[in-house]
Amino acid sequence: MYAETMQVNNGVNVAALLGAREALVQTPEAARFTWRASCNWVNGTHSRATVEGYHGLGGEQQHKTRFTFDADHPEVFASEDNGPTPVEYVLVGLAGCLTAGIAAVAQNRQIQLHSVTASLEGDMDIQGILGMDSDVRNGFDDVRITFEIDADASRDEIEALVAQSQKRSAVYDILTNPTNVSVRVK
Amino acid sequence: MIGDLRRPRFCGARSVAVVVIGAGHAGLAMSRHLQRCAIDHVVLERGEIANAWRHERWDSLRLLTPNWQCRLPGFRYAGPDPDAFMTMPEVIDFLCAYATHVSAPVRTGTTVSSVRPAPGGYHVITDQGEWRCRAVVMASGAFNLPLVPALADAIPARINTLTPRAYRGPDQLEEGGVLVVGASATGLQLAQEIHRSGRPVTLAVGEHVRMPRLYRGLDIQWWMAAAGILDQRYDEVDDLERARRVPSPQLIGSPGRSTLDLNALTAEGVGLVGRVVGLRDGVLQFSGSLRAHCASADLKLGRLLDTIDEWARTTGRWESPGTADRLSPTRVAARPPLSLDLKAGAVRTILWATGYRPDYAWLHVPAFDRKGRLRHDGGVVAVPGLYVLGLPFLRRRKSSFIHGCGDDVRDLGDHLLNYLGGARRRPARGSPPRSEALEATATV
């Protein structure tokens, strides 16, 4: 039968991921990763960040390409708008993380995806960052994501994909739970 | 005939083929099995029979499983109310009656302080003398020591903290607000009881398992047993480690057979917050993942009931299953609080309903993994002649329940018998206990 020979392919190598998980059981220290970025001030509120190397699987690793990211603020902040605002990068990170998770979980559950579209919103009261009201926090006070997913699966199965993706998402965890952050001057 | 199983005496240690540690339901069931196989053994119990049920549980607790499900090998509930749930005194009576029924050679008031390998088996040291044995069965339970998060140590001293092991009832708590941490069966039951005592409760909720008490008029345990879910084996699940860590379902055994879920608690005024994830300057921090955890639990409940419906449909239990019995989605506030200032005084007490772990401090064998967990294959520990019973999903989903230990005892008992090389002595199934075994145990 044609239907029986169709392979689910979301472009995720689940076998490799599960193999890595199996291997890391024996060498849990190799599971320690350190991610890095560097950043240079350009002018005004414009900065340019670079991502290239990282540490993991017991050694130094390199991305295939050196990635650069311009961050700035829009003109309503009297800036030049040379790039997204840093908080928008946070939304981008969350979207990328959850979407990758959905693809991987779908592959593992043999669910063919046709399209996955996420819309994200983060609410913020800028009285916080402007120092106008100490009761207002600087960051997001609410983040919302809506997924539209076309897949060969029931609505419950799709909701379960999204739930599992949140459960295993690094950026979701970073946003919902506190993290120790140290900032120092060299 | 028992003598050839014994090791030579020395150093004043008594000899026996098998030492069973713990006289709860699992240890007693194993004792019965060993007696029927004529294996010389002793059951060492630190306190009394059913000790944890007597001394380490709260006053209002009832079993989560209905009376009809309270069965042990050769013994079952035969009272007038099969759908009710046993109180703690009733559980204690049930287990004491079982101990008498099986004539278990229990030595109460005997605390094991060390088990270590010795030539030909194990050397067991207790506060009532020493034993040499060929095999050890650990039936001391999975719920010995309360697990609390590391940050519990840094809670300001003005806040009272306790665990369910020390909790008996709400009157022992100071007046004022209570933060109950953990939303499994224990956390939900205690949150309700404490809130009803006039102490406003906030409940910190992480991953949890939602479950209705009744589904289509029958106890959820009936459905799970009938559909084969409770019999699911440890070697049949995808991720056993995860299956063994699944929190206990949100159930309560109450006379009204009521469902206790987060919606029931919020309707009574209990406030929900996310998992406790941090403590900074006397302010507790909660995860922003409450909604995700609730949505996930709702989905999992849906799948469980779908499985049950599918079983009912394919077995002709009913023609067209509807969804009328489904619980409504868990209600979560639009913006649940992300922090709680412990200096503000609204919360006077924190109750850590964050689980238990087994206590193996006395077990000196190379059978622990890097996280200190006992390595075993369905109860057969990674060192020969050592067995464990009664842990969550040990061999089956039902393994940690009273009714779940019978099949495990049979499987592990057979393994143990082979290990002792005593398979040829095994009497036919169903034959009465052999008197030699009773005499032997009486004379050691």
Task: Kindly report the nearest CA distance between residue A175 and chain B, in angstroms.
Answer: 8
Angle of the A155-167 helix axis to the B290-314 helix axis, nearest 10: 140
**Is the pLDDT score of B438 beyond 50?**
no
Query: What pTM, to 2 d.p., does this model score?
Result: 0.87
Q: Tell me, what's the pLDDT at B272?
A: 98
Q: Tell whether B278 is within 8 A of chain A (Cβ).
A: yes
Confidence of residue B7 (pLDDT cuts 50, 70, 90): very low
Question: Please, are residues A151 and A106 in contact by the beta-carbon 8 Å criterion?
Answer: yes
> Tens digits of per-residue pLDDT, A8-55?
899 888 888 888 888 888 888 899 999 999 999 999 999 999 999 999
> Per-residue pLDDT averaged across B410-417, rounded?
96
Q: How far is CA A60 from the centre of its chain?
A: 22
Q: Tell whether A27 is within 8 A of chain B (Cβ).
A: no
Q: Tell whether B166 is within 8 A of chain A (Cβ).
A: no
Q: Tell me, what's the pLDDT at B384?
A: 95
Report d(CA B289, CA B304) in Å as an integer.
23
Question: A159 and B295: CB-CB below 8 Å?
Answer: yes
Question: Please, are residues B240 and B310 in contact by the beta-carbon 8 Å criterion?
Answer: no
Confidence of residue B431 (pLDDT cuts 50, 70, 90): very low
Question: A163 and B296: CB-CB below 8 Å?
Answer: yes
First to last CA, chain A: 66
Strand ranges (E), B7-120: 14-21, 41-44, 71-72, 75-76, 106-107, 112-118
Question: Please, are residues B74 and B431 in contact by the beta-carbon 8 Å criterion?
Answer: no
Residue B341's H or E segment, with its range, is strand B339-341
Question: B278 and A177: CB-CB below 8 Å?
Answer: yes
Give the DSSP letter string of B244-278: HHPPPPB----TT-----HHHHHHTT-EEEE-EEE
Q: In what order do the strands lie in the sheet with B339-341?
A: B276-280, B283-286, B339-341
Q: What is the identity of the amino acid at A136?
A: V
Question: Please, are residues A63 and A50 in contact by the beta-carbon 8 Å criterion?
Answer: no
> Tens digits of per-residue pLDDT, A102-116?
999 999 999 999 999
Question: Please, are residues B42 and B110 in contact by the beta-carbon 8 Å criterion?
Answer: no
> Tens digits of per-residue pLDDT, B76-97?
999 999 999 999 999 999 999 9
User: Which of A28, A164, A167 minimises the CB distance to B370?
Assistant: A28
Q: Residue B311: what are its φ and ψ, rounded to 5°?
A: -60, -45
**Is the pLDDT score of B102 beyond 90?**
yes
Cβ contacts of A176 on chain B, cutoff 8 Å: 274, 287-289, 292
Report d(CA B405, CA B29) in Å as an integer.
8
Listed range (A16-20, B110-114, B241-245, B276-280) with the worst mean pLDDT: A16-20
Q: CA dist B303 to A51, A156, B52, B96, B210, Å? A: 42, 9, 34, 39, 11
Strand ranges (E), B62-174: 71-72, 75-76, 106-107, 112-118, 121-126, 129-138, 145-146, 160-162
Residue A20's H or E segment, with its range, is helix A14-26
Question: Please, are residues B406 and B72 in contact by the beta-carbon 8 Å criterion?
Answer: yes
Task: Kindly report the nearest CA distance between residue A69 and chain B, in angstroms.
Answer: 28
Q: Tell whether A117 is within 8 A of chain B (Cβ).
A: no
CATH fold of A85-177? GMP Synthetase; Chain A, domain 3 (3.30.300)
User: Which of B287, B335, B370 minimises the CB distance to A177?
Assistant: B287
> Per-residue pLDDT averaged across B219-226, rounded?
95
Report d(CA A106, CA A151) in Å as an integer.
9
Cβ-based burial of A50 (10 A; exposed 0-12, middle 13-18, buried ≥19): middle
Q: Tell me the domains of chain B and their CATH numbers.
A: 3-144+358-443 (3.50.50.60), 146-356 (3.50.50.60)
Task: Kindly report the nearest CA distance between residue B290 and chain A, in angstroms.
Answer: 9
Pairing mode, strands B356-357 and B145-146: antiparallel
| CA atoms within 13 A of residue B267's CA, in its CB half-sphere | 8
Q: What is the DSSP letter of B234?
A: T
Strand partners, A148: A117
Cβ-Cβ pairs closer than 8 A, A with B, add up to 40
Confidence of residue B323 (pLDDT cuts 50, 70, 90): low
Q: Residue B405: what are its φ and ψ, rounded to 5°?
A: -85, -20
> Tens digits of per-residue pLDDT, A125-169?
999 999 999 889 999 999 999 999 999 999 999 999 999 999 999
Other Cβ atoms less than 10 A from the Cβ of A51: the count is 16
> Per-residue pLDDT averaged across B34-40, rounded?
95
Q: Tell whether B242 is within 8 A of chain A (Cβ).
A: no
Q: Tell me, what's the pLDDT at B320?
A: 53
**Is the pLDDT score of B212 beyond 90?**
yes
Q: Residue A164: what are its φ and ψ, rounded to 5°?
A: -70, -35
Task: Kindly report the nearest CA distance between residue A15 and chain B, in angstroms.
Answer: 15
Other Cβ atoms less than 10 A from the Cβ of B367: the count is 16
Tokens 């800036």 belong to residue: A79
> Tens digits of per-residue pLDDT, A61-78?
999 999 999 999 999 999
Angle of the A155-167 helix axis to the A86-108 helix axis, nearest 10: 120
> Tens digits of per-residue pLDDT, A86-100?
999 999 999 999 999
**Is the pLDDT score of B370 beyond 90?**
no
Other Cβ atoms less than 10 A from the Cβ of A59: the count is 7
Listed range (B76-85, B368-377, B418-427) with the worst mean pLDDT: B418-427
| Mean model confidence pLDDT for chain B | 91
Report d(CA B122, CA B61) in Å as an integer.
37
**Is the pLDDT score of B134 beyond 90?**
yes
Closest CA relative to residue B31, chosen from B439, B438, B444: B438
Confidence of residue B425 (pLDDT cuts 50, 70, 90): very low
Other Cβ atoms less than 10 A from the Cβ of B263: the count is 17
Q: Tell whether A29 is within 8 A of chain B (Cβ).
A: no
Closest CA relative to residue B393, chosen from B411, B381, B405: B405
Report d(CA B251, CA B370) in Å as an integer.
33
Cβ-based burial of A36 (10 A; exposed 0-12, middle 13-18, buried ≥19): exposed
Q: Tell me, what's the pLDDT at B11?
A: 58
Confidence of residue B317 (pLDDT cuts 50, 70, 90): confident
Question: Please, are residues A122 and A91 in contact by the beta-carbon 8 Å criterion?
Answer: yes
- Domain positions in chain A are 30-84, 85-177
**Is the pLDDT score of B262 beyond 70?**
yes
> Tens digits of per-residue pLDDT, B39-71?
999 999 999 999 999 999 999 999 999 999 999
**Tokens for B220?**
């959820």
